Amino acid sequence: MQSAAIAEKVRSIAWYHSIELPGGIVTPGVNNSRRALARLQLPSLAGRSVLDIGAWDGFYSFEAAKRGASRVLATDSFVWTNHWGQHGFNLAREALGLEKAVEDRQIDVMELSPNVLTEDFDVVLFLGVLYHLSDPLGALERVASVTKDLLILETETALDYLPFPAARLWRPRELSNDDTNYWSLNRRAITATLRRLGFGNVRVVYHTSIGRRFARAIRDRRLRDGFRSCRVVIHARR
């Protein structure tokens, strides 16, 4: 596909991920995907199977393929069927020449199982999805069932100051004016749940610092929201 044709199609799509395409084209995603990638602290993916749950425009799926994953399966349901559609994912995959390297399947998180997917995966990416779900514990059970070795989880948290596992249910638009935000578990709740699900080594590898939360609150002129929103990245190994 020629650069001019890619650029024209890019302009016709609403993007979430910022994806670098051939010809110096970068999709105008609202998410700073490169910065978010650094926070994940991905291990070597060479020769490993990777499942990307809630793939959206596919930035992390494509990154896994570029890093030598033996198989990459991108899954989504809410975004691809009810929200922004799969147009961005399809265009980016074609432009990057990754049609054979990255598979896709429309499937809801709550439908995941080894039988449905026909296998489990060495590395599972579950990024920016958990706090949008009405049944976060059930979702973690489903995700754990298809994780052979390493789960990388990125999500919103709340109530981390409490000395015990806890969760907060958000009212519509209470967090970041987004009515798809549902539950935020604190880090203790996430860790305890993952250990119950058979992950022996659970580590928080990133969390939003107080300084960043303050700067974001000032920038967006939403002081309360800035401090409410605290994201974490957790590595959970079998």
Per-residue pLDDT, 192: 98
- The pLDDT > 70 percentage for the chain reads 91
Lowest mean pLDDT among 90-99, 139-148, 212-221: 212-221
200 and 237 Cβ atoms separated by less than 8 Å: yes
Domain assignment present for residue 31? The answer is no
Domain assignment present for residue 156? The answer is yes
Domain assignment present for residue 181? The answer is yes
pLDDT band at 42 (very low <50, low <70, confident <90, very high): very high
Domain assignment present for residue 33? The answer is no
Query: What would the DSSP string read from start to end of 126-181?
Result: EES-GGG-S-HHHHHHHHHHTEEEEEEEEEEE--TTSSS--EEEPPTTTTTT-TT-
pLDDT band at 33 (very low <50, low <70, confident <90, very high): very high
Question: Averaged over 116-136, what is the pLDDT?
Answer: 97
Domain assignment present for residue 186? The answer is yes
Lowest mean pLDDT among 67-81, 92-106, 197-211: 197-211
Per-residue pLDDT, 210: 64
Per-residue pLDDT, 178: 86
User: Burial, 64: exposed, middle or buried (Cβ in 10 Å; 0-12, 13-18, 19+)?
Assistant: buried
Higher pLDDT, 177 or 48: 48
Residue 234's region, left for phi above 0, alpha for psi from -120 to 50, else beta, is beta
Closest CA to 165 of 202, 129, 133, 127: 202
Domain assignment present for residue 14? The answer is no
Question: Averaged over 38-60, what is the pLDDT?
Answer: 98
Per-residue pLDDT, 24: 94
pLDDT(219) > 80:
no
Domain assignment present for residue 28? The answer is no
Total count of domains within the chain = 1
Instruction: Give phi and psi for 98, each to the nearest 5.
Output: -110, 25
Would you give the distance in Å from CA 45 to the centre of its chain? 17
CATH (domain of 227): 3.40.50.150
pLDDT(220) > 60:
no
pLDDT band at 173 (very low <50, low <70, confident <90, very high): confident
Higher pLDDT, 173 or 185: 185
Question: Averaged over 142-167, what is the pLDDT?
Answer: 96
Q: State the Cα torsion 64-66-67-70 to the nearest 10°.
A: 70
Domain assignment present for residue 161? The answer is yes
This prediction's pTM: 0.94
Domain of 215? 43-237
pLDDT(89) > 60:
yes
